[in-house]
Amino acid sequence: MIRSNSEALIRKIMATFVDKELIPRAQEIDEKGEFPMEMFQEIGKMRVFGIRYPKKGGGSGGNTTLYCIICEELARGLMSVAAVTAMQCLMGTNFLFHFGTDALRETYFLPAMGGEKIACFCLTEAEAGSDLGNVSTSAIRTKDGYLLNGMKSWVTNGPVADFYTILCQTDPAKKFKGLNFFFVPRETPGLSIGKPFDLLGTRTTPISELALTDVHIPCEHMLGQEGRGMSNLLSILAEIRAMTAALAIGLQQAALDDSIRYAHERAQFGSTISNYQLIQAKVANMATDLEASRLLTYKATHMVDEKIPCLKEASMAKYFSTEAACRAGDEITRIFGAYAYSMEYSAQRYYRDNRFLLYGGGTHEILQPNIARWVGL
């Protein structure tokens, strides 16, 4: 679904990079199970991380649609690399760009755009996942700043990040209106990073816990006006959900491509399995899901770019596309048969990595009742 020359150009550039540089190394990177620093830095040199930000602010002057095309293509190569790129382009740097001081942007944002520093975004807690109103990490005002205490969990890039954007509660009585984001550099005293989780999928995307014990930061490290943290988060929620949908599209495309290739190669009963109707049905379903996912997702991104409210559309795209990615991950294992059970083939990776998509940007158990409400139930 291409509406401009810039979209076609970005897709061509990223597809070439993925085909030549990422796919040939995908299995090696995944099996190594470490943050893909070399690949991350290569992407940084391409100025991909700044695609959402204006050139005058140190970005690359693109938009949300171009960002999602990048995420899609990288996910076609390896979901882990796409995930850390998505974090760097949006959640990890957005509040720093819009609300950080000139000094913070100079020291952290600009190097992050070139892949020299790694960004991180911290929302989730043990008792605050979908229910962010239950965030207990506190930020207590002092005479010269804030004192942060608490624990964050499921922190993407936590073990390797150079700086963290952390959601804290400044006034529990205010619930959502007491939530605010704070900027915390890695070297800040009192900040402790836990060991990486052992993950089912996206094994090179490091995730950990983060502990804050009397972490003192200056007032200017509050990112945004006090009491506006939740509304500022909601302002990019449609982008987060569209981005997650784009990651799902990339995985669907990879699963479909590999399924078609394998079906043409695998022979049983004197014929390649591509000639059997049940295999054809699986491929047809995957292809139809993929097309529908693209239509939903890029409708939402174009609405974002045109500044049209689209949380409903982005939520539908996230819900449908990620469920379709799970179906694709299952179907490719059936098409590959026993070979899908071998770590030698990519089918097992798609099957594992698709679970990553279900949780970020809102669980489907949250999205479905919201969508129902938005359409009038």
Q: What percent of the chain has pLDDT over 90?
A: 89
Residues 93 and 129 in one domain: no
Cα–Cα distance, 300 to 297 (Å, whole number): 5
Mean pLDDT of 46-69: 96
CATH code, domain carrying 58: 1.10.540.10
Instruction: DSSP for 260-304, please give it.
Output: HHHHHH-EETTEEGGGSHHHHHHHHHHHHHHHHHHHHHHHHHHHH
Mean pLDDT along residues 165-187: 93
Tell which residue, 143, 149, 16, has the closest CA to residue 76.
16
More confident residue, 257 or 172: 257
Taking residues 197-204, what's their average pLDDT?
92
* Same-domain check for residues 236 and 370: yes
Q: What is the pLDDT of residue 1?
A: 57
Residues 124 and 49 placed together within one structural domain of the fold: no
The helix (H) or strand (E) run that includes residue 110 is: helix 110-113
Residues 207, 220 within the same domain: yes
pLDDT tens digit string along 274-330?
999 999 999 999 999 999 999 999 999 999 999 999 999 999 999 999 999 999 999
As a whole number, mean pLDDT of residues 239-265 equals: 97
Domain count, the chain: 3
Q: Is the pLDDT of residue 335 over 80?
A: yes
Same structural domain, 218 and 261: no
DSSP string over 143-199: TTEEEEEEEEEEEETTTT-SEEEEEEES-GGGGGGGEEEEEEETTSTTEEEPPPP--
Is residue 362 over pLDDT 90? no
Pair 217, 250 in one domain: no
- The parent domain of residue 296 ranges over 232-374
Helix or strand (DSSP H, E) at 207: strand 207-217
Say whether both 143 and 188 belong to one domain: yes
Tell whether the model's pLDDT for residue 131 goes beyond 80. Answer: no
Final residue of a domain: which of 90, 113, 136? 113
Note whether 236 and 345 are same-domain residues: yes
- Judged against a pLDDT cut of 80, whether residue 129 lies above it is answered with no
Q: Which of 364, 83, 89 is CA-nearest to residue 248?
A: 83
State residue 2's pLDDT score: 56
How does pLDDT run across 142-161, given as a tens digit for each residue?
Answer: 999 999 999 999 999 999 99
